[in-house]
Amino acid sequence: MHCDVCIIGGGIMGLSTAVFLKRLDPGASVLVVEPDPTYEFASTVLSAGGARRLFSRPENIEMSTFSIGFLTRFADEMAVDGDRPDIAWREEGYLFLVPPAAVAMLEANARTQEALGVEIVMMDPAALKRRYPSMTVDDVGAAVLSPRDGWCDPSAVLQGFRRMARHLGVAFVRDRVIALDDGDGPVRRAVLQDGPPLAADRFVIAAGAWSEPIAASIGMPLPISPMRRFEHYFATRTPIEPLPFVKDLARLAFRPEGSGYTGTVVNSDEPRGVNFELDPGHFEDMVWPALAHRFPAFEATRCLRSWAGLYEVCELDGNPVIGNWPERHPNVYTVAGFSGHGLMHAPAAGRGVAELIVHGEFRSIDLARLGLGRVLRGEPYPETGIL
């Protein structure tokens, strides 16, 4: 087989890249290699589905702005033969809470967000308590609400992209890329686990938590590790006022879902590696105390379901690696390492890689500072504040 562009990974990043490639260059032959079309362990479908603009780096804010706009009109963008996919977008907002020591950081980030057109509401503890009377605010220094942010059904987003990719003529191979083959020169083949090698002019590594060994096969340093994270669905009998997606520096993150809530406490010290086993004590030991502290109504909460997924953690700085490797393999591109922000940045990141392939440059959002160059130089470009 031979194609113009071989995309390694058929999750949300690979599919977004494929769709934008075909929209920019309809004549290009694009092939996506994905080992599991059921997406049982895909990070996207196991995520909370949130999308927010509360970042400190301009690139992340701009990617979120484009992606959230894309998600709000997803039914139109991804309509195929009159079928308009419903991703259940809910514009309920995001709320960040920080202690007194982090107020200056929150205010500095807010200035950057407002300068880039993000609608936000800053609140001191008194204003926060008036807006959310069920919340304990004694240890809160300040809060910021982005009312135009929200969440959606992540599985519906992924399937919408997949259907559009097929509609545009993208081909799919069910297999796993285990290496790239550069021989003594440019990369020309992808080595598959089961099938014969695939030849292509360009390659995109979009394999999420499985990206690092593929890049390593051609000497590309990609500091991405899989890290297990848990998500829980829980309920409480005590009524609470309508809530946005709530996050704080203690790594508590949760939002309403149906008649209950879904959320977690992320443990950054979780051992790295592919692991989907459940920890029966995670909710009771970590999530429940954090919930009950912030909202006493959760003292009597019940965990109804738990599941595990993977973060593709960029160990350098928590930000994605987007771009190619001009000095050694200019025809190999990466779009991976989103560290939990994949869904909310997928439309913008996929468009960015497509622009780089078709035009040789980023034309919509300049993502150069998120490229491989910072990895090669050992220069982190991290977020400041809540990740």
Mean pLDDT of 307-313: 96
pLDDT tens digit string along 20-46?
Answer: 999 999 999 999 999 999 999 999 999
Cα angle 247, 94, 254 (rounded to 5 degrees) comes to 45
pLDDT band of residue 249 (cuts 50, 70, 90) is: confident
**Phi and psi dihedrals of 257, rounded to 5?**
-150, 110
* Fold (topology level) of 2-82+153-222+316-377: FAD/NAD(P)-binding domain (3.50.50)
Write down the pLDDT at residue 185: 79
Distance CA 240, CA 294 (A): 12
* Residue 293, both tokens: 């502290």
pLDDT tens digit string along 73-117?
Answer: 999 999 999 999 999 999 999 999 999 999 999 999 999 999 999
Q: Where are the domains of the chain?
A: 2-82+153-222+316-377, 94-150+225-313
Mean pLDDT of 252-273: 94
Average pLDDT of the chain? 96
Q: Given a cut of 80, is residue 317 above it in pLDDT?
A: yes
Mean pLDDT of 48-58: 97
Write down the pLDDT at residue 182: 86
CATH homologous superfamily of 94-150+225-313 equals D-Amino Acid Oxidase, subunit A, domain 2 (3.30.9.10)
Does residue 166 contact residue 172 with C-beta atoms inside 8 Å?
yes
* Residue 88, both tokens: 């259940």
Mean pLDDT of 316-343: 96
Amino acid identity, residue 162? R
Q: Given a cut of 80, is residue 184 above it in pLDDT?
A: no
Q: Given a cut of 90, is residue 267 above it in pLDDT?
A: no
pLDDT band of residue 51 (cuts 50, 70, 90) is: very high
Over pLDDT 90: what percentage of the chain?
95
Does residue 240 contact residue 255 with C-beta atoms inside 8 Å?
no
Distance CA 51, CA 66 (A): 11
Over pLDDT 70: what percentage of the chain?
100
pLDDT tens digit string along 113-169?
Answer: 999 999 999 999 999 999 999 999 999 999 999 999 999 999 999 999 999 999 999
Q: Given a cut of 90, is residue 387 above it in pLDDT?
A: no
Q: Which residues of 163-180 are buried (b: 16+ CB within 10 A; e: fewer)?
A: bbbeebebebbebbbebb
